[in-house]
């Protein structure tokens, strides 16, 4: 492969590392999500096959995070090795992440780095010692889907394929995730404080983790901005070199 083509290939790989491919949910999975979460605005949830740049180093199968600029949008990223909408486990992963989208919706919409769901997720994580296992927002989602013994997987394990028309879905349906930002934030306070002292500390606790969320948001924006610029440089350089290589070979052929 010529140098110009190699540079363009690297540019495409870098772009996908930064911005994983957006996909549409299979209709059957979308029907399952609507049946399980009747209040979820599924149109405001974007699904991607792949986990973006630095986030993939966390090692998770999937992650749900608010979109960078769209106020009402959340993005679900699924590792390609775990994207399997034809199996109970694969659908369970998607439905687990869709539950996080419902949590984000009910926590309240935000803009830019100011996302209630992110601040709440960090605050609850701090109260849990920054461990994934036992994180209250994760455990609530796992009750319904995402583990072998979650309610969704248990209901369809013997069938082998989830049925959007199954009557059991009405029993599994969650009209609400139960997330209420201020009460959840109060529960995340790490100290056993007197009841009269907790309310004055809540704004400071919120400010702390909103600031942490903003730093993560800005770091992501910086990585993607620099990466997108580098992608453009690589692609342009590859295009120029490919053109020059083409001219050289045509000239050599005529010679």
Q: β-pairing, 45-49 with 74-78? A: parallel
The answer to which of 4-18, 88-102, 106-120, 144-158 has the lowest mean pLDDT is 106-120
Q: Is 48 a residue whose pLDDT tops 80?
A: yes
Which residues lie closer than 8 Å to 43 by C-beta, 6 or more apart?
none
Mean pLDDT, rounded, for 83-98: 95
What is the number of H-type helices and E-type strands within the chain?
A: 9, 4
Strands 74-78 and 21-23, bridge-based pairing: unpaired
For the chain, give the percent of residues with pLDDT over 70. Answer: 93
pLDDT for residue 111: 80
**Domain ranges in the chain?**
20-189+196-202
Q: Give the pLDDT band (50/70/90) at residue 198.
A: low
Residue 64 phi/psi, 5-degree rounding, is: -120, 125
Give the DSSP per-residue string, 124-149.
HHHHTTT-STT-HHHHHHHHHSSSTT
**How many Å apart are CA 42 and CA 111, to the nearest integer?**
19
Query: At residue 82, does pLDDT exceed 60?
Result: yes
- pLDDT 10s digits, 151-191: 999 999 877 788 888 889 999 999 999 998 888 888 888 76
Confidence of residue 236 (pLDDT cuts 50, 70, 90): very high
The larger pLDDT score, comparing residue 198 to residue 99, is at 99
Q: Flag whether pLDDT at 14 surpasses 90.
A: yes
**Which helix (H) or strand (E) covers residue 224, if one does?**
helix 198-254
pTM of the model: 0.90
- Better-scored residue on pLDDT, 163 or 112: 163
Average pLDDT of the chain is 89
- The pLDDT of residue 250 is above 90: no
- What does the alpha-carbon distance between residue 140 and residue 117 come to, in Å, rounded to a whole number? 14
CA 98/CA 30 separation, integer angstroms: 10
Q: What is the mean pLDDT of residues 34-46?
A: 96
pLDDT at 203 over 60: yes
Overall residue count recorded for the chain in this entry = 255
Average pLDDT on 123-134 reads 90
| Burial of residue 8, with CB atoms counted within 10 A of its CB: 0-12 exposed, 13-18 middle, 19 or more buried | buried
Q: What percent of the chain has pLDDT over 90?
A: 59
- Say whether pLDDT at 125 is over 70: yes
Which pLDDT score is estimated for 4? 87
């Amino acid at each position: 492969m010529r140098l110009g083509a190699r540079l363009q290939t690297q540019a495409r790989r870098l772009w996908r590392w930064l911005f994983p491919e957006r996909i549409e949910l299979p209709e059957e999975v979308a029907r399952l999500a609507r049946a399980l979460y009747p209040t979820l605005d599924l149109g405001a949830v974007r699904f991607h096959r792949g986990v973006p740049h630095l986030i993939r180093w966390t090692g998770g199968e999937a992650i749900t995070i608010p979109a960078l600029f769209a106020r009402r949008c959340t993005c679900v990223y699924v590792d390609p090795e775990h994207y399997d909408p034809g199996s109970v486990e694969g659908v369970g992963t998607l439905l687990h992440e869709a539950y996080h989208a419902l949590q984000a919706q009910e926590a309240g919409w935000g803009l830019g780095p100011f996302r209630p769901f992110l601040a709440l997720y960090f605050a609850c994580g701090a109260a849990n010692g920054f461990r994934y296992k036992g994180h209250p927002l994760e455990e609530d989602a796992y009750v319904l889907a995402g583990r072998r013994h979650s309610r969704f997987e248990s209901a369809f394990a013997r069938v082998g394929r989830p049925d959007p028309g199954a009557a059991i879905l009405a029993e599994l349906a969650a009209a609400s995730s139960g997330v209420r930002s201020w009460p959840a934030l109060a529960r995340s306070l790490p100290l056993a404080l007197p009841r009269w002292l907790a309310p004055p500390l809540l704004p400071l606790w919120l400010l702390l983790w909103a600031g942490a969320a903003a730093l993560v948001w800005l770091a992501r924006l910086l990585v993607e901005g620099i990466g997108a610029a580098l992608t453009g440089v690589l692609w342009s350089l590859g295009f120029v070199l490919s053109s020059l290589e083409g001219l050289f070979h045509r000239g050599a052929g005529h010679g």
